């Protein structure tokens, strides 16, 4: 990403909000550390995913370092609509990051949901749900400083124990001009407990902007059920898509064609071996025996993986 490109390109992307006006539930690939990168986004878009997020990027590093920009963000012409998720705690830093990314993406998302200790200790992620005025200020600043009205500004949150506080946060963000809000239906403390879909429904009924439901969706049928339970306008999926990137196209388990597509896309993009291999381990989890996993999961080179896929499945 050079400054020359940034200065000369205009923010001329489709309006991601159009997806929410289609009358269909919007199917979204979640921001996932290490995993929701360009190659994987390319794969899920082949299988009915409507909207993709990048992994979370720390806005301050992105603004300060060209090296960080080059390593954290890659895209291409087919990678749209695309939302870049940032971790930020200062309005102007988020604005600066949005200015840089605007020519290459369709919107930004402010992470207000990451529960990891490092993020919270730095003032990022889920701790922001307890700072509604700061969230409102950050959203408003980006809205006011980015000229392109089609460039979306969204937030992804977790819920409070006291849901009134979550509704207040969402209403403040709406007043500041937020485009939509993704709600992970758990509190900061909750990890594997059941998702509070009833809470997402209450938030949806309190708002006039689109709401996206997130948490424990592992099939298209579950996505449709969550849509009906919450009345949400979209569903965001993380682990379910890692296990089955063809999930949104209605496949119950990863089809062999999808595995072949991943091999082709990953090799074309020069995906590092560890990432290439990890994705395959996730995808093949449900279709391999324990014995097969013991062999496949310890392979240590791309050529060994390709040989295995060819020998066992005629793939690669």
Report the catalytic residues. 114
CA nearest 241: which of 83, 71, 50, 21? 50
b/e string for 14-43 if b means 16 or more Cβ within 10 A?
ebbbebbeeeebbbbbbbbeebbbbbbbbb
Q: How far is residue 12's CA from residue 305's CA, in Å, rounded to a whole number?
A: 40
From the number of C-beta atoms within 10 Å of its C-beta (0-12, 13-18, 19+), residue 241 rates as buried
Token couple for 181? 């809000």
- Binding residue numbers for FMN: 31-33, 85, 184, 238-239
Q: Between the CA of residue 238 and those of 184, 188, 213, 214, 275, what are the distances in Å?
A: 11, 17, 12, 8, 16
Per the annotation, where are the binding residues?
Answer: 31-33, 85, 184, 238-239
């Amino acid at each position: 990403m050079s400054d020359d490109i940034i200065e000369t390109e205009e923010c001329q992307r489709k309006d991601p909000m159009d997806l929410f006006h289609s009358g269909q539930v919007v199917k979204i690939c979640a921001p996932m550390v290490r995993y929701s990168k360009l190659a994987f986004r390319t794969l899920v878009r082949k299988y009915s995913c409507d909207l993709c997020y990048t992994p979370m990027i720390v806005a301050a590093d992105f603004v300060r370092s060209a090296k960080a920009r080059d390593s954290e963000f890659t895209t291409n012409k087919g990678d749209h609509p695309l939302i870049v998720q940032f971790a930020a705690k200062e309005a102007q830093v988020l604005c600066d990051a949005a200015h840089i990314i605007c020519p290459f993406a369709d919107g930004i998302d402010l992470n207000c949901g990451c529960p990891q200790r490092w993020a919270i200790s730095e003032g990022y992620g889920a701790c922001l749900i307890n700072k509604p005025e700061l969230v409102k200020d950050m959203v408003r600043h980006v809205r006011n400083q980015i000229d392109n009205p089609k460039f979306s500004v969204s937030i992804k949150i977790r819920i409070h124990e006291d849901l009134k506080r979550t509704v207040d946060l969402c209403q403040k963000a709406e007043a500041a001009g937020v485009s939509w809000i993704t709600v992970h239906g758990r509190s900061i403390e909750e990890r594997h407990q059941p998702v509070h879909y009833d809470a997402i429904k209450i938030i949806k009924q309190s708002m006039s902007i689109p709401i996206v439901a997130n948490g424990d969706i592992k099939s298209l049928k579950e996505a449709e059920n969550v849509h009906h339970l919450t009345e949400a306008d979209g569903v965001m999926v993380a682990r379910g898509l890692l296990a089955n990137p063809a999930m949104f196209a209605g496949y119950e388990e990863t089809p062999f064609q999808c595995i072949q597509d991943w091999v082709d896309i990953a090799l074309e993009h020069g995906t590092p071996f560890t990432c290439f291999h990890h994705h395959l381990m996730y995808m093949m989890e449900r279709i391999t025996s324990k014995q097969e996993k013991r062999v496949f999961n310890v392979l240590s080179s791309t050529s060994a993986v390709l040989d295995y896929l060819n020998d066992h499945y005629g793939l690669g």
